[in-house]
C-alpha cells in the first residue's frame, strides 16, 4: 500500500510538471499579444484546466487500458514510466522546447511495460479491433490511437490554422487596423479560455488513466487487502476512473499551470512567430478544436503539437517567411525523439530498480 501511495505521488509530480511545462500551450499567444498579463493569463488557464479535466474520460481509458497489456503492469512499472516522463519534461522545459508531455507519458508507460515483460514486444498493444456496445468496430492500441494522431494532428493544426487565418483575412480586409486589434483582443479571451479547457480535457485525462491503472493493478495483485477506512477509496476491483481521481488530477494540473512555464511561453509566443490578437485567436481556436475532436475519439493527442502547428499555420498565412525555420526544426526533432527517449529511459529504470524493489 505504501508503495502505491508513492506511485500516485509520482504521478501527481508528473501532472504538476505537465501543468507548468504545458502552460504555454494555453497562454503563450494571449500573453505575447498583450491581451492579458502573464499573471491573469495563468490564472485563467488554471481555472479552465480544471473545467476541462472534469469533462470526459475517453482518453483516460485509452491510456490506462488500451496501450499495454495490463497483465504485466505493476506499481513499479508505473513508477518507472513516471520517472522517465518527469526527467524528459524537466529536460525539455529547461531547454525551452515545447515537447509533448502526453507522448513522454505514453513512451514511459510502453518502455516500463516492456521492461516488466522482460523485453516481450507483444506487451505493447499495437493495433486491436473490437466491437462496441452499438455493434460498431473500433480500433485501439498504439498505432491507431497514438501514432496516427501524432502524424495527423500536426498536419491538421498547420492546415486548419492556415485556412482559418486566410478566411479571417478575407472577412476583415476592409476593416481598420485598430478595429481588427480591438475586436480580436476581446475574442482572444474566449479562444484562450477554450485552449485552457482543451489542455485540461486532453492532458489531465492521461494521468487519470495512469492512476486508475495503478489502483486496479494493485488491487488485482492483492496489495490492497484490509485497507483502513480512510484509504478505502484506493480499492479498485475493476478499471474505473473514479471521481476522486478526476478531481485530484484536475487540481494538481491547475496548480502546475498556475506555477507557469515562462521558458516555453517565450519560445511559442515570441521566438517562433510574431503574433497579433487576430493570429492568437486563430491559433488557439484551431488547437483547442483539434483537442476536442481527438478527445471525444479517445485519442491522447499532444496539446503541444496541436497548438504549435496551429501557430505555424497562422504564421504561414501571415507571410511565407514568418516562421523561424531553424527553431521549428529543433522542435520537430524533439517531437520525434520524445517517445523513443522516454521508452528507453523507462526500460532502463525498470531493469535497474526491479533488482532492489519487489512489488
Q: How sure is the predictor about 76, in pLDDT bands with cuts at 50, 70 and 90?
A: very high
The grid coordinates listed for 83 are 520517472
Question: Taking 60 as the threshold, does the pLDDT of residue 273 lie above it?
Answer: no
Q: How sure is the predictor about 276, in pLDDT bands with cuts at 50, 70 and 90?
A: confident
Query: Which of 257, 216, 158, 185 shows the shortest CA–CA distance to 35?
Result: 185
Arithmetic mean of pLDDT, 293-306: 85
Residues 6 or more apart from 326 whose CB is under 8 A from it? none
Q: How sure is the predictor about 335, in pLDDT bands with cuts at 50, 70 and 90?
A: confident
Query: What is the pTM assigned to this prediction?
Result: 0.84
Arithmetic mean of pLDDT, 261-277: 59
Other CB atoms closer than 10 Å to residue 166's CB: what's the count? 16
Per the DSSP assignment, residues forming a β-bridge with 138 are 130
Task: Quote the pLDDT of residue 132.
Answer: 66
Question: Taking 80 as the threshold, does the pLDDT of residue 274 lie above it?
Answer: no
Task: Quote the pLDDT of residue 31.
Answer: 75
Q: Which of 53-57, 80-84, 278-282 has the lowest mean pLDDT?
A: 53-57
Placement of cell 494532428 in the chain: 153
Q: Between 227 and 359, name the one with better pLDDT.
A: 227
Q: Between 23 and 325, name the one with better pLDDT.
A: 325
Q: What whole-number distance in Å separates Cα of residue 131 and Cα of residue 140?
A: 11
Residues 6 or more apart from 310 whose CB is under 8 A from it? 157, 158, 160, 161, 282, 283, 284, 286, 287, 290
Arithmetic mean of pLDDT, 207-227: 85
CB 119 within 8 A of CB 221: no
Q: How sure is the predictor about 344, in pLDDT bands with cuts at 50, 70 and 90?
A: very high
Q: How sure is the predictor about 221, in pLDDT bands with cuts at 50, 70 and 90?
A: confident
Measured in Å, how far apart are the chain's first and last C-alpha atoms?
Answer: 10
Q: Between 190 and 202, name the one with better pLDDT.
A: 190
Q: How sure is the predictor about 261, in pLDDT bands with cuts at 50, 70 and 90?
A: low
Q: What whole-number distance in Å separates Cα of residue 113 and Cα of residue 70?
A: 8
Q: How sure is the predictor about 238, in pLDDT bands with cuts at 50, 70 and 90?
A: confident
Secondary structure class of 224 (helix, strand, coil):
coil
Residues 6 or more apart from 207 whose CB is under 8 A from it? 11, 12, 14, 15, 18, 105, 249, 252, 253
Task: Quote the pLDDT of residue 48.
Answer: 87
Q: Between 272 and 319, name the one with better pLDDT.
A: 319
Amino acid at each position: 500500500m505504501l508503495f502505491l501511495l508513492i506511485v500516485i505521488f509520482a504521478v501527481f509530480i508528473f501532472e504538476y510538471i505537465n501543468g507548468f511545462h504545458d502552460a504555454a500551450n494555453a497562454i503563450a499567444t494571449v500573453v505575447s499579444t498583450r491581451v492579458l498579463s502573464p499573471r491573469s493569463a495563468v490564472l485563467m488557464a488554471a481555472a479552465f484546466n480544471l473545467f476541462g479535466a472534469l469533462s470526459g474520460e475517453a482518453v483516460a481509458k485509452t491510456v490506462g487500458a488500451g496501450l499495454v497489456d495490463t497483465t504485466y503492469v505493476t506499481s513499479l512499472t508505473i513508477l518507472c514510466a513516471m520517472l522517465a516522463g518527469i526527467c524528459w519534461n524537466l529536460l525539455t522545459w529547461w531547454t525551452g522546447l515545447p515537447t509533448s508531455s502526453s507522448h513522454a507519458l505514453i513512451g514511459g508507460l510502453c518502455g516500463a511495460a516492456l521492461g516488466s515483460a522482460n523485453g516481450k514486444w507483444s506487451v505493447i498493444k499495437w493495433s486491436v479491433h473490437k466491437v462496441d456496445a452499438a455493434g460498431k468496430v473500433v480500433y485501439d492500441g498504439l498505432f491507431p490511437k497514438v501514432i496516427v494522431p501524432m502524424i495527423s494532428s500536426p498536419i491538421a493544426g498547420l492546415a486548419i490554422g492556415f485556412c482559418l487565418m486566410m478566411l479571417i483575412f478575407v472577412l476583415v480586409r476592409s476593416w481598420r487596423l485598430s478595429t481588427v486589434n480591438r475586436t480580436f483582443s476581446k475574442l482572444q479571451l474566449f479562444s484562450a479560455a477554450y485552449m485552457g479547457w482543451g489542455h485540461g480535457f486532453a492532458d489531465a485525462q492521461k494521468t487519470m488513466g495512469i492512476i486508475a491503472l495503478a489502483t486496479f493493478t494493485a488491487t488485482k495483485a492483492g496489495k490492497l487487502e484490509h485497507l483502513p477506512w480512510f484509504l478505502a477509496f484506493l480499492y479498485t476491483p475493476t478499471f474505473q476512473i473514479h471521481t476522486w481521481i478526476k478531481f485530484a488530477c484536475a487540481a494538481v494540473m491547475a496548480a502546475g499551470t498556475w506555477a507557469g512555464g515562462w521558458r516555453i511561453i517565450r519560445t511559442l509566443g515570441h521566438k517562433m512567430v510574431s503574433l497579433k490578437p487576430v493570429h492568437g485567436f486563430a491559433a488557439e481556436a484551431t488547437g483547442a478544436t483539434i483537442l476536442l475532436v481527438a478527445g471525444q475519439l479517445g485519442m491522447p493527442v499532444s496539446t503541444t503539437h496541436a497548438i504549435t502547428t496551429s501557430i505555424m499555420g497562422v504564421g504561414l498565412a501571415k507571410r511565407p517567411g514568418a516562421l523561424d525555420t531553424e527553431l521549428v526544426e529543433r522542435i520537430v526533432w524533439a517531437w520525434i525523439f520524445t517517445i523513443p527517449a522516454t521508452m528507453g529511459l523507462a526500460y532502463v529504470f525498470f531493469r535497474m530498480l526491479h533488482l532492489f524493489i519487489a512489488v
